[in-house]
Structure 1
């Protein structure tokens, strides 16, 4: 049959949409097929608790949406996207009621750390200065970097474990704990090699760009992406579950915004048994247990810095965070988990009725866990914000099974599309020169199960689209 489209993208997460946009920008005829009734993958907003209270079901703070070399250059403001920048990107409270803040201003941040001020600047000053040189290579497949020396300097800091890095650079326990707060986004034990890389990248982007979120909900980001995509001729088809690739129109290329588990279930792809075996061995990472609250007032954090931050990391010592992040991989959860909190309504009153508020939080849990961690999470927040429980009007929780039901790519509650340890950081989903290609020359993977991994940055889709362009549309690749 003749090809109806040049390329079809299966899945409308940020990576799928990014792949579609890049191909459509080149003049190709593309379409996105999405199994759900609402596009966006994990980047969606719904009323989960009470009418009028808008909650981000998955992603809530989107710094990489601005820092992304691809998404950051799209005219999304023309399609209704408005970024909200809290005064403080993230804060970390301590048991004595104080807190450290990550301001966008690097020097204001470092000035809090006393004897560790110089060490903090030694780490982050060159990273912030050279981000434009190394950021593109960090957010892509393994290859020869454009600026090898600057990239190598980053690597020397990123390869150690978080524990090794903080013990080498910092003297103060609070400074070490503050870094752990960003590094623990990795969902890896903080004694693991390369776990420091997550803290380095996230904190660098906080100083370079801030940690913004979309006004009105993360779903507004998806709406803007799709608005732009449609404005350049793209098509979106919802409520279309692709069980067999032969059920959708012919195309020169198919790009799947799916993890290996979902991809292997698609019929008609003609994958070799060896490829299937290697993909079947792909490792998924820790899951999350997520809570959303409708509140009568903002979270009453003791520290003013926390009240001014869009994101708050809660873990009251390095030992506490280490135990928490190690335990999730040993299925031995602590009663004092590391907790990530996002609070939008102090800065965006469009998300709740007048005078009311919302909050969002999760802790890391063993993949596939169905245990309820509501009490443990609320106790941790209550310790940093006495009276928090009294502000709760309603709540909603999602365990790992419910998260996967919401978005099938969240396998076992894994929000990163697969474990992001040293064995799968760049060689995901399997080790090969072109990680986006498959044995079927028309089929590509563009999900977060490819480099650079999890996060709302669209770069997995961008690079997968580049691979398809190179293989099937070489002349267009030159434009």
Structure 2
């Protein structure tokens, strides 16, 4: 049997990042994946009709552009090409107007009219200081910062609720645009720390855009896997790890799995107190996802929305906030906040000539099996009259189906657990190193560890760095 220094279980962005980081140090690394393709949330498939290529989960990648780890790799040499829409995200309103996020902070501020000055005052200092604090924000929180003043400036703002930050704005455009960013947090917009993800996504947009991988998100996974193999790493698909005894001997094992699955796999190898902590990890809202094969581009009333990679469909700040609050309470809003992407507008490899794809999801209570396709379709139709007439075929995922697709999505939670004030510093447990478990040589590197969900690889990178320090004396 081959000898390995380290084993990584799960080939999502964090598992791949962990495997690469270890292999870069000259170790012999085995990466195990249960499915026939690598990727986790980075997969692309023909979900509706032949020739229509849909991103199964992640679609647009601001965190990929912002990730210090991913930026350090020459993934273009392994076939990864990013497309940068001019309009990163649009937020249309019922009257046909829309607010928009551009990579240019100046352009974004200038188009927000009366709130342009407030927008600039809020974001310009954060954008300028981002390169000095990005590795801290996108990593474990309990560590000594190298730039405490810049970090404090970000922290004092991001600890506030989205609603508190929205009070700085007066126009429906600025408030609406901000609501769409904050709603990615998957917690009520009135809750403390709900603004954190909104800040990160907006700053990331002004720094590196919200790029779309040409050919689909699977291309990111394939490029990372190619890079790993080029270093001499070993990748093995179709391998289900149910217990530790399924694994060959190694000095370190890193798990890109949820806390729930870590408990199942490692069992009594973990201390009773650590197991108790993992069991307390709280999962958040789920998602209901819809993919469409379309006969033509989505006929948004807003010209800006027709040019955007992402369109946030929810109306005013108050509408978005009310809908997200209802979902948090276990209810279903009639007009849910919908995150919509239209990759085929920019990438003609996604659909047959002249045809297009649509990608969307809304938040639902964790574990919900309610069919939200009509509510989502109605919300798109609200801002794009005639949308229904363009639909050729539809594919849906409820939360249970999302969890079958990726077992890390407990109850459909794509963030790996609630990112609220209660779990900001203890994700998945309160430890100086969130990646190190109670058992020597066993680590967790999934989105349930800092910095949380998104295609950035930073959880895997930091977990691997911890293993190198603990086990391999790096």
Query: What interval of TM-score do these two structures reach, taking the shorter chain for normalisation?
Result: over 0.9
Kept in 1: contact 2:344–2:351 (CA 8 A): yes
Q: 2-side partners of 1:301 and 1:173: how far apart?
A: 19
Q: RMSD of aligned C-alpha atoms?
A: 1.1
Does the residue aligned with 2:139 lie in a helix, a strand or coil? coil
Structure 1 residue 174, shift from structure 2 partner: 2.4
Q: 2-side partners of 1:108 and 1:138: how far apart?
A: 26
Match of 2:184 in 1: 185
Match of 2:165 in 1: 165
Does the residue aligned with 2:265 lie in a helix, a strand or coil? coil
2:45 maps to 1:46: yes
TM-score normalized by structure 2?
0.98
Alignment of 1:76-225 (within 5 A): 76-142=75-141, 143-167=143-167, 169-225=168-224
Kept in 2: contact 1:411–1:417 (CA 8 A): yes
Match of 1:263 in 2: 262
Does the residue aligned with 1:39 lie in a helix, a strand or coil? coil
Structure 1 residue 426, shift from structure 2 partner: 3.0
Q: 2-side partners of 1:33 and 1:54: how far apart?
A: 26
Structure 1 residue 455, shift from structure 2 partner: 0.5
Does the residue aligned with 2:31 lie in a helix, a strand or coil? strand
Kept in 2: contact 1:3–1:250 (CA 8 A): no
Q: 1-side partners of 2:360 and 2:59: how far apart?
A: 10
Deviations, residues 252-274 of structure 1 (Å, cap 9, x unaligned): 00000001111111146611222
Match of 2:452 in 1: 453
Deviations, residues 361-380 of structure 1 (Å, cap 9, x unaligned): 00000000000111111111
More off after superposition, 22-31 vs 314-323? 314-323
Kept in 1: contact 2:293–2:356 (CA 8 A): yes
2:377 maps to 1:378: yes
Match of 2:405 in 1: 406
Q: 2-side partners of 1:158 and 1:442: how far apart?
A: 34
Structure 1 residue 146, shift from structure 2 partner: 1.1
Structure 1 residue 35, shift from structure 2 partner: 1.1
Kept in 2: contact 1:269–1:443 (CA 8 A): no
Structure 1 residue 72, shift from structure 2 partner: 1.3
Q: 1-side partners of 2:60 and 2:190: how far apart?
A: 26
Deviations, residues 99-151 of structure 1 (Å, cap 9, x unaligned): 01111110111011122111000011111111101111100001111100011
Q: 2-side partners of 1:436 and 1:209: how far apart?
A: 28
More off after superposition, 313-322 vs 263-272? 263-272
Q: 2-side partners of 1:173 and 1:297: how far apart?
A: 30
Structure 1 residue 64, shift from structure 2 partner: 1.3
Does the residue aligned with 1:292 lie in a helix, a strand or coil? strand
Q: 2-side partners of 1:36 and 1:67: how far apart?
A: 28
Does the residue aligned with 2:251 lie in a helix, a strand or coil? strand
Kept in 1: contact 2:11–2:256 (CA 8 A): yes
Deviations, residues 374-426 of structure 1 (Å, cap 9, x unaligned): 11111111111110010000000000000000010011000001111111123
Kept in 2: contact 1:3–1:252 (CA 8 A): no
Deviations, residues 138-165 of structure 1 (Å, cap 9, x unaligned): 0000111110001101112111100011
Deviations, residues 296-333 of structure 1 (Å, cap 9, x unaligned): 00111111111111000011112211111111121111
Kept in 1: contact 2:65–2:204 (CA 8 A): no
Runs of 5+ consecutive residues of structure 1 not aligned to the other structure: none
Match of 1:274 in 2: 273
Match of 1:68 in 2: 67
Q: 2-side partners of 1:180 and 1:403: how far apart?
A: 25
